[in-house]
Structure 1
Amino acid sequence: MKAKILTMMLLTVCLYIGKSHGQVPYKRHNLGFGPQFNYNLEQKRALYGGGVAYEFRLNNKWGFTANANLNIGIEKPEHAISVDGTSVNLLNISNSNISIGSRYYLNRFYFSASFGYGEERQKLKYDDSRGIRTESERGFYQAYALGYQIPLKHNNLEVFASGGGISDLNITTGVRFNFGIGKR
């Protein structure tokens, strides 16, 4: 119940901010890059990486995006049991994706959805004679995000949080420096 109330309050504030302020100037083409912090909920591991993004702003409310991201988690080995019941040590996990999507803007806040192709990898060290192996899963990638753009002189800094993945849900937070290409 509290989550529903907080969500409604957040949406109300976003709508109020979007209606109470004037039109935000934008550049039609933007290129962005920056670091990301990623947390894999199924594996309970942190991943670090970065991404690049291109955005075409159709108007003040809508934008279309193309994204590429890579995140890697390298931690001390963790003992686990594999699917077939053998004992393994999980050495690291990584994920990468390429996607396209759209954004809807409320003043400087935005909501986005993107879909594409992704890959999740796990490097495992088996206790038996199989040694070190890499297992990977490829497939349909989807992500949903909420972000805010902080204006700079001719560019902006973007702070965002997203949830997405192929099979495991990854929660990502990050910052991205966007610089406009061309005229407003």
Structure 2
Amino acid sequence: QRCRTEYEAKDQAAKGDEVTRKRFHAFVLFLGELYLNLEIKGTNGQVTRADILQLTGSVLEDTWKEKGKTDMEEIIQRIENVVLDANCSRDVKQMLLKLVELRSSNWGRVHATSTYREATPENDPNYFMNEPTFYTSDGVPFTAADPDYQEKYQELLEREDFFPDYEENGTDLSGAGDPYLDDIDDEMD
């Protein structure tokens, strides 16, 4: 009954004064100890300990690092020794290996990347990925990534001036006497 009462007051305890928070912290540690001492045949409590460490490992390690302690290193070393032990079941070994892997990935935490920078050809290998491909008069393809881009692009622009009355698909834009344009309904104009 008392555990239920303490648990139901968790929101108030988390926002309460320092004494209330410490009391709730002690309650959580008590629950952890109860969980650790559950008897599960065949595992010697390894599964429950691993579960608790998985949930609390990041906080424990951060707290210990602030105090200059290396307790987490010792715990991980012990876990690795258990994994090497022949008496350990395959399932327990796999669970413990996943725990070691979780710790090596900084407990699954992802830190924000550096500040946003404008993409440039020097810092983004995909900078020219969505650039159009042009062709020279000889049919040689080129893009903005090409060192001779300016020269080739200028040549392309000059070529467009040879046919000022035609669109990309080759249609004459002059309009008069064009059978294609004459068939267009006047209502569409």
- TM-score interval (norm. to shorter): under 0.3
The structure where strand makes up a greater share of residues is 1
What is the TM-score when the length of structure 2 is the normalising length?
A: 0.20
What is the TM-score when the length of structure 1 is the normalising length?
A: 0.20
Higher relative contact order (CA 8 A, sep 6+): 1
The structure where helix makes up a greater share of residues is 2
Q: Which has more radius of gyration?
A: 2
